[in-house]
Structure 1
Amino acid sequence: MSGIVLEADPESLRDPESFRAGVMERCEPRILREAARDWPLLAGSDVRQLIDRLRRYDAGRSAEVFVGRPEIAARYHYDESLAGFNFERIEMPLGEALTRIMETQPGPDSASLYTGSLSAETYLPGIEQLTRLPFVPVSVRPRFWIGHASSIACHYDVFDNVACVAAGRRRFTLFPPDAIGDLYVGPIDRTMAGQPVALAVGSDRDDPVYPRFERARGRALVAELGPGDALYVPKLWWHQVEATERINLLVNFWWDGFASGPDQPYAAMLLAMIAIAERPPAERAAWRAWFDHYVFRPDGHPLAFLPPEQHGVLGNLAEGNYGRIRTTLMRMLRSN
Structure 2
Amino acid sequence: MNEGPASIRVIEGCRGDALPLDELLSSGEPAILKGVVRDWALVGAGRQSRQAAMDYLRGFDAGKPLQYSFGDPEIAGRPFYNDDFTELNFEVRRGGLGQVLDAISAHVDDPAPPTYYVASLLVDGDLPGFREHNDLDLAGSGVQAPPSIWIGNRVVASCHFDAPNNLACCAVGRRRFTLFPPEQISNLYPGPLEPTPGGQVVSVVDFSNPDYGRYPRFRQALAAAQGAELEAGDALFIPSMWWHHVQSLEPFNVLVNYWWSSMPAYIPAPLQALQHALWTIRDRPEQEKQAWREVFEHYVFGPREQAGEHLPAAARGPLGPVDETLARRLRAMLIGKLNR
Shared fold per TM-score greater than 0.5: yes
Q: What corresponds to 2:127 in structure 1?
A: 124
Give secondary structure in 1 for the equivalent of 2:53.
helix
1:214 pairs with one of 219, 229, 234: 219
RMSD of aligned Cα (Å): 2.8
Q: Please list every run of 5 or more consecutive structure 2 residues that lacks an aligned counterpart in the other structure.
A: none
- 1:288 is displaced (CA, Å) by 1.2
Letter of the 1:148 partner, please give it.
N
Contact residue 31 and residue 231 of structure 1 kept, 8 A? yes
Q: What corresponds to 1:190 in structure 2?
A: 195
C-alpha separation in 1, matches of 2:92 and 2:304? 49
Letter of the 2:220 partner, please give it.
R
2:258 is the alignment partner of 1:257: no
Contact residue 14 and residue 36 of structure 2 kept, 8 A? no
1:85 pairs with one of 73, 85, 88: 88
- Of 84-93 and 116-125, deviating more is 84-93
Q: What corresponds to 1:181 in structure 2?
A: 186
Write out aligned runs for 1:159-308 (5 A). 159-202=164-207, 204=209, 207-259=212-264, 261-298=266-303, 301-304=306-309
- 1:74 is displaced (CA, Å) by 1.9
Contact residue 305 and residue 320 of structure 2 kept, 8 A? no
Give secondary structure in 2 for the equivalent of 1:293.
helix
2:38 is the alignment partner of 1:37: yes
- CA offsets 1:118-160 (integer angstroms, 9 cap, x no match): 1113321232333321235564221111111222211222222
1:48 pairs with one of 24, 48, 51: 51
Give secondary structure in 2 for the equivalent of 1:75.
coil
C-alpha separation in 2, matches of 1:112 and 1:326? 41
Residues 331/74 of structure 1: CA separation in 2 closer, same or farther (3 Å cut) = closer
| Aligned sequence identity (%) | 36
Residues 206/77 of structure 1: CA separation in 2 closer, same or farther (3 Å cut) = closer
2:27 is the alignment partner of 1:23: no
Letter of the 2:8 partner, please give it.
V
Letter of the 2:9 partner, please give it.
L
Give secondary structure in 2 for the equivalent of 1:250.
strand
- CA offsets 1:210-237 (integer angstroms, 9 cap, x no match): 1222221211110221111111112321
2:103 is the alignment partner of 1:97: no
Aligned residues: 333
Residues 159/319 of structure 1: CA separation in 2 closer, same or farther (3 Å cut) = closer
2:155 pairs with one of 150, 158, 170: 150
Residues 190/323 of structure 1: CA separation in 2 closer, same or farther (3 Å cut) = closer
Q: Please list every run of 5 or more consecutive structure 1 residues that lacks an aligned counterpart in the other structure.
A: none
- 1:195 is displaced (CA, Å) by 1.4
Query: TM-score normalized by structure 1?
Result: 0.87
- Of 31-40 and 201-210, deviating more is 201-210
C-alpha separation in 2, matches of 1:315 and 1:302? 9
Residues 301/32 of structure 1: CA separation in 2 closer, same or farther (3 Å cut) = farther
